[in-house]
Structure 1
Amino acid sequence: MSPHAYLVDDDEAIRDSLGWLLESRGVACLSYPSAEDFLAAWNPSLTGCVVLDIRMDGMSGPELFATLCEHGSKLPVIFLTGHGDVPMAVAALKQGAFDFVEKPCNDNELVNRVIEALKLDETQRLAASGADTVNALTDRLTTRERQVMDLILAGKLNKVIADELQISMRTVEVHRANLFEKMGVRTAVELAQLLAGKR
């Protein structure tokens, strides 16, 4: 199944407005009126992220989060909180939640966080799919791109890499952009995280 934002909130108006907002920015989403409904639909193959209200009738957001963690879910979770719920949201962050956003929230800020959570989920799944996937990605690199990658992972700046490989800064930048694209990452940190499971 393609990545989705899963909206779990017992307020229909919020589900509708957030759903419309996310889809207007190109984020596919599915809505659930309760934690129990989402739990019934959840399975380990779901990809994306969960936007979860803290206070709901029946099972609360933190209870659902704890249950998902027990089931081994790696879906990033963004909590929607009222002002008085911030301590609860901070506690959830310490247990591994991705973020929390206070209601009423800045719409674009929330969507930006959802998009970041979707990217994190994608990166985690790539890394978790094992060394075979990482090997398949690195196999696509040219010899020069591998050299540049090793020096990036060693923490060296473009200028230093250019000096060591005796090529121009511009050439380093081109190799860097190409290898990031082939590896499916945006930063050196993401590259290091992706390769951490392999090394």
Structure 2
Amino acid sequence: MENIESKPELMSEPIVYVIDDDKDMRDALLDLFMVTNRRASAYSSGPEFLSTADTTAPGCVVVDLRMPGVTGLDVQSQLISLGSQMPVIFLTAHADVPASVRAMKAGATDFLTKPFVTQDLLDAVDYAILVDGERRKSETECNQIRMLADTLTPREQEVMFGVVSGLMNKQVAYQLGISEMTVKLHRMSVMRKMQSRSLADLVRKAEKLQRN
């Protein structure tokens, strides 16, 4: 494994994991990322990467499609089986439509043919890191919303989902067999516990809960 040393304060920065059995390519990619101020580590094989790298870290993977033994597609598949959603960029010396289709369907963010334009790779890496960052931000928000929702009583949850579905207080009351005043009290409690100052914000949070 080859690394670009980073200053301690940069260790939380996204990292580009390079996987290629060609040492010259690995060195060239490391040099490219170093001179463009991107943190990176390189691995000579899929197993080396999978056994030593932190696949939960922010960043992306740049991997050669065709490697002996464990291929780039195998690496992508094993990342998925590990529960990692780290974006993957494939590099290949041979145009391979079936492989590219399979890679993209499995979530690859790009597929570049060697020799590639340097800026195309840098753009692909920046996009992949952006996608990863947005996903992590969304997951963090979803976890926070879920923690708030866990503080609701079962009845409060029923009232919340009735309200966010567009029902009026009296309709929720009829549906649940309780008084309208009780619905209003539960609704006030829901707004407070969900830290929502508006119905629109409560609807947005409820939709995130239902989607995840």
Scaled by the length of structure 1, what TM-score is found?
0.64
Is 1:197 the equivalent of 2:190? no
Percent sequence identity over matched residues? 35
**Distance in 2 separating the partners of 1:131 and 1:38:** 30
**Distance in 2 separating the partners of 1:41 and 1:130:** 29
Report how far residue 86 of structure 1 moved.
3.6
Gap change, CA 1:24 and 1:50, over 3 Å in 2: same
Q: Is the 8 A contact 1:81 1:89 kept in 2?
A: no
Query: Which whole-Å deviations, capped at 9, do the CAs of 1:9-28 have from their partners, x for residues lacking one?
Result: 00011111111112212211
Structure of greater Rg: 2
1:37 to 42, 48, 51: 48
1:49 to 30, 45, 60: 60
Gap change, CA 1:112 and 1:68, over 3 Å in 2: same
Is 1:116 the equivalent of 2:136? no
For this pair of structures, how many residues does the alignment match? 141
Query: Which whole-Å deviations, capped at 9, do the CAs of 1:68-105 have from their partners, x for residues lacking one?
Result: 10111110000001224343122110121111111110
**Distance in 2 separating the partners of 1:75 and 1:48:** 7
RMSD: 2.4
1:81 to 84, 92, 98: 92
Question: Which position in structure 1 is the counterpart of 2:111?
Answer: 100
Partner amino acid, structure 2, of 1:49: C
Secondary structure, in 3 states, of the residue corresponding to 2:121?
A: helix
Is 1:6 the equivalent of 2:17? yes
1:129 to 132, 140, 145: 140
Partner amino acid, structure 2, of 1:40: S
User: Structure 2 unaligned runs (5+)?
Assistant: 1-11, 146-205
User: Structure 1 unaligned runs (5+)?
Assistant: 135-194
